[in-house]
Amino acid sequence: MAKFPVEPFKIKAVEPIRQTSRAEREQVLRQANYNLFAVPAQDIYIDLMTDSGTSAMSDHQWAGMMMGDESYAGCRNFFNLQEAIRSITGFQYFVPTHQGRAAENVLFTCTVQPGQSVPSNMHFDTTQANIIARGGKPVNLVAEEGLDPVSHAPFKGDIDLGKLEAYIQQVGAENIPLGMLTVTNNSGGGQPVSMANIRATGNLLHQHGIPFFLDACRYAENAYFIKLRESGYADKSILEIAREMFSYADGCTMSAKKDALVNIGGFLAMNDELLYERACQQLILREGFPTYGGLAGRDLEAVARGLWEGLDEQYLAYRIGHTKYLADRLLEEGIPLLEPAGGHAVYLDARRFLPHIPQAELPGQALSCALYVEGGIRGVEIGSVMFAYEDPDSGEMLYPALELVRLAIPRRVYTQAHLDYVVESCQRIYARRQELRGLRYTYAPALLRHFTARFAPL
Ligand code: P70
């Protein structure tokens, strides 16, 4: 048995990447106003900004792309995708969308009225923004250990069921059009949600007549953690575990850009026929006819094939092991992380990394800039830049509990040597962390600020 995860694939096509000099990177970062979203990808060496849409597709998926049926209505790839979604999720109806946030938009447009709340373990950024855009209120009720960066609880993505019950009592079930769980919990460190918690959340919501949806973009990684960590699941297949997860829900949103191993695509699935009919109307308005939903036939085929590949147990063992390898190497160097490793990413704990920079001076953003200057590495801040907001009642700035820099690992793209290079770069920054300074905003839009904000060093 090897001491490190060995790739269950070999490499057939390569894409060159280019090292730049430190002086070049300093210049690029200045020009990008210290926002890594504004840095051209050709100036990045190792791109860990996201695991979304960045997977390497397999030869089987690429072959499927050549089988794209580009008919406007009823293309054969739609039916292949329908077969995969029905078989894996058990949901009767679905509409394809161009990516996850489009599925969110359609779902919330059909369900959320102004003033209503949507509780979850933790909403991710686009989900939060899409609820707010409908005049709704996103509510995060993750269990206490999910906010403790060093707790090794096995399922730190679980929702606090007591808080969920109390919240339903407080605002009334009629003001909650649906409840959600994000699997795995992206804003909380890519931590999994247990089957017991998914089941209990479904039961609790249903007792109050509230529909339950999964934000399912990393459902296969979540299923693999259940197999590893939850008693009674060690001998079940990933497909069986996934089916059970979905069986407690009434539907899901899915960004296929994650666990379905494609560069673009998503869907909204559900059992409620009336909701499906309304979703089709929204889809035609925004995305396209319900058998293609903003995608080409070839894209639908890649999603259909990728959904099956993403459930392969050997692949998942490598995938989760690869992420854990990076976390373990960083921990060996004493670098503070959110522990244990998540499924798709390692999250540097900027608060413990840079205790001398207060949250108002954006320590996560400062750390992500330092990573770029040091190694040409692009991570993403998941902290105050992404989530701090002004309380509409008190006008006070509310900062998130966690101040993180996420190093998300694209699927089947980087090797162990690439990860070792990331560790060495982090190590050099950690050695001179006292020299790092915070940042201030020079421009900050109201919604989804992180994508386009501009900064200046303090
Ligand atoms: C990410 C991307 C997308 C996402 C998600 C969950 C749990 C829905 C969506 C939306 C977004 C991102 C963040 C920072 C940098 C680049 C990209 N997550 N739900 O990387 O799906 O993007 O397809 O509309 O994580 O985590 P989509």
Q: pLDDT class for 387, splitting at 50, 70, 90?
A: confident
Per-residue model confidence (pLDDT) at position 132: 93
Ordered by start, the domain boundaries in the chain are 22-51+313-457, 59-309
Q: pLDDT class for 401, splitting at 50, 70, 90?
A: confident
Residue 1 in this model has a pLDDT that exceeds 80: no
Q: pLDDT class for 389, splitting at 50, 70, 90?
A: confident
pLDDT in tens, 405-444: 999 999 999 999 999 999 999 999 999 999 999 999 999 9
Per-residue model confidence (pLDDT) at position 395: 86
- Identify the residues whose C-beta falls under 6 Å from ligand 1: 49-50, 52, 99-101, 124, 126-127, 182, 186, 215, 217, 255, 257, 266, 380, 408
Indicate the burial class of 103 (C-beta count within 10 angstroms; 0-12, 13-18, 19 or more).
Answer: buried
22-51+313-457: in CATH 3.40.50.720: no
For ligand 1, pick from 51, 181, 186, 381 the residue to mutate: most ligand atoms within 8 Å of CB: 186
pLDDT in tens, 77-125: 999 999 999 999 999 999 999 999 999 999 999 999 999 999 999 999 8
Per-residue model confidence (pLDDT) at position 2: 63
Ligand 1 atom 6: residue of nearest CA: 124
pLDDT in tens, 327-339: 999 999 999 999 9
Per-residue model confidence (pLDDT) at position 3: 74
**Ligand 1 mean position, distance from CA 170 (Å):** 30
Ligand 1 atom 13: residue of nearest CA: 50
For ligand 1, pick from 49, 51, 108, 255 the residue to mutate: most ligand atoms within 8 Å of CB: 255
Classify domain 59-309 by CATH number.
3.40.640.10
pLDDT in tens, 4-13: 889 999 999 9
Per-residue model confidence (pLDDT) at position 447: 80
Residue 218 in this model has a pLDDT that exceeds 90: yes
The mean pLDDT value of the chain amounts to 96
**Ligand 1 mean position, distance from CA 52 (Å):** 6
Ligand 1 atom 18: residue of nearest CA: 52
pLDDT in tens, 242-273: 999 999 999 999 999 999 999 999 999 999 99
For ligand 1, pick from 35, 126, 347, 409 the residue to mutate: most ligand atoms within 8 Å of CB: 126
pLDDT in tens, 10-62: 999 999 999 999 999 999 999 999 999 999 999 999 999 999 999 999 999 99
**Ligand 1 mean position, distance from CA 409 (Å):** 13
Q: Is the pTM of this model over 0.75?
A: yes
Per-residue model confidence (pLDDT) at position 424: 98
Mean pLDDT of 183-194: 96
393 against 202, higher pLDDT: 202
Q: Tokens 């209505």 appear where?
A: 73
